[in-house]
Structure 1
Amino acid sequence: MLNKSKQSYKLAAKLALTGLLAVSSMTALSHSNVHAAAASASAGKNAQNDYIKSIYKLASEGKIPGLNAIAGKTPISAVHYKWGEPDVGGDLKGNHYEGYNLGMGKGEYSFGVNKSGVIYDLRNFGTSIDRTGGVKSLTFASVIKSLGTPKEVRFTGKDKIYVYHPSKAYELKFVGPSKVAKGKIAHIDHINVYAGKANT
């Protein structure tokens, strides 16, 4: 009987120890999950901040992400050569816009073209398929956090436009809705790099 009692005691001690280890493992696991989630959120915010700053740097050179074109310098014929005829606006004369939707997560782009055939406005609409990255993931708040308050805010139709001046030659515009439903966050619809001197 004494032997059985010792065995029961040992079994109970093992079970208690196992339970204690399981609880402490779960606690450690939940702490590591919290830390991982916090690190992931922090990394996401840092990545978004870096992305916005890279947009600004490219804009200072007259460029936008995803394109080799330079506003005010690249002829639209170079885009036609690379991507073919545009989905919208290819048969227009004078100052006009041409648009390309490259499809399935590859993005949508638009070009303001002057009467000489030089691109004066580059637009990147990002992709509508994955809004967790790229242009569509940005908000006006994230832009301000990365670049500071814009020197100019414009309103056109239903759009609000934050205007930055990364260089004398170019304007960088973050365009999104001027109003959103209560409880919603206004995400950026597209970005522009505009070369005003080329818009002739």
Structure 2
Amino acid sequence: MKNKLKQTMKLTNKLALAGLIAVSSMAAMSHSNVNAASTAAPAQSAATSLSAQKGSTYIKSIYMLASEGKIPGLNAIAGKTKISDVHYKWGIPDVGGDLKGNHYELYNFGMGQGAYGFGINKSGVIYDLRNFGQSIDRTVGVKSLTFASVIKTLGMPKEVRYSGTDKIYVYHPSKLYELKFVGPSKVAKGQVAHIDHINVYAGKANT
């Protein structure tokens, strides 16, 4: 009974933390003046959130946020925010919480709330922000995007990288940050390559 109670409390706390996430990039933009330590943006109405996570409008908002070192759903700033601020808001990560030095941590909130990753340098500063979106409704959010829709909105990137089975479109919204759209390099015939996740990377902070 005690173990079941602990598991129930843990799930309840996790869902409560997930409720702090704003899945809309518009929410993040409207709170861009909030201190970087405030990593979770307030939630918006479902209708507003969903309408803001489609097509070229969403891609443009991602690009605009990236120029400030941000990703949709967070007020954390790559190269400035400390992972301790995220821990304070969201608790222990699902992956990487026991690692030290330069490492990655992942929060997977489930229940359509999405997943977020953080690259952390040895000083505890986040240099890489990742938004994996959510997999329940792939018609909205990060996973609704395709390489074709990204090119149509932002043009062909000057740099395309490959890592394992991933293809990475790299844009430079500012001198400080790289914006990466990551997806499969190959898909089955007749299928469309959708974006798996986006990164905003501050190279100078990767120490």
TM-score by length of 2: 0.74
2:102 to 95, 103, 126: 95
Q: How far apart are the structure 2 equivalents of 1:93 and 1:118?
A: 12
Q: Which has the larger radius of gyration?
A: 1
Structure 2: how far apart are the matches of 1:84 and 1:93? 17
Tell me by how many angstroms 1:117 deviates. Answer: 0.2
Q: Does 1:48 align with 2:69?
A: no
Give how far 1:47 is off: 4.4
Q: Select which of 178, 185, 188 maps to 1:181.
A: 188
Query: Which amino acid is 1:146 matched to?
Result: T
Q: Is the 8 A contact 2:54 2:144 kept in 1?
A: no
Query: What corresponds to 1:146 in structure 2?
Result: 153
Q: Which residue of 2 aligns with 1:82?
A: 89
1:163 match: 170
Q: How many residues align?
A: 156
- Separation in structure 1 between the aligned mates of residue 54 and residue 77 of structure 2, nearest angstrom: 25
Q: Which has the higher helix share?
A: 1
RMSD: 1.2
**What's the TM-score once normalised by structure 1's chain length?**
0.77
Alpha-carbon distance in 1 for matches of 2:55, 2:149: 8
Aligned residue for 2:59, secondary structure, equals helix
Gaps of 5+ in 2: 1-50
Checking the alignment, whether the CA contact within 8 Å between 2:54 and 2:141 is kept in structure 1 is: no
Q: Deviations over 1:29-81 (max 9, x none)?
A: xxxxxxxxxxxxxxx8x941010000000000000000110000000001001
2:121 partner letter: N
Distance 1:148 1:78 in 2: 35
Counterpart residue number, 1:123: 130
Shift >3 Å, 4+ stretches: none
Q: 1:66 and 1:105 mapped to 2: Cα distance?
A: 13
What percentage of aligned pairs have identical amino acids? Answer: 83
User: Aligned equivalents of 1:163 and 1:70: distance in 2?
Assistant: 18
What secondary structure does 2:139 align onto? coil
Mapping 1:53-68, distance limit 5 Å: 53-68=60-75
Per the alignment, in what secondary structure is the counterpart of residue 143 of structure 1?
A: helix
CA distance in 2, matches of 1:83, 1:93: 18
Indicate if the aligned counterparts of 2:112 and 2:134 stay in contact, CA closer than 8 A: yes
Cα distance per residue 1:92-114 (max 9 Å; x no partner): 11100000001101110000000
Gaps in structure 1 of 5+ consecutive residues: 1-43
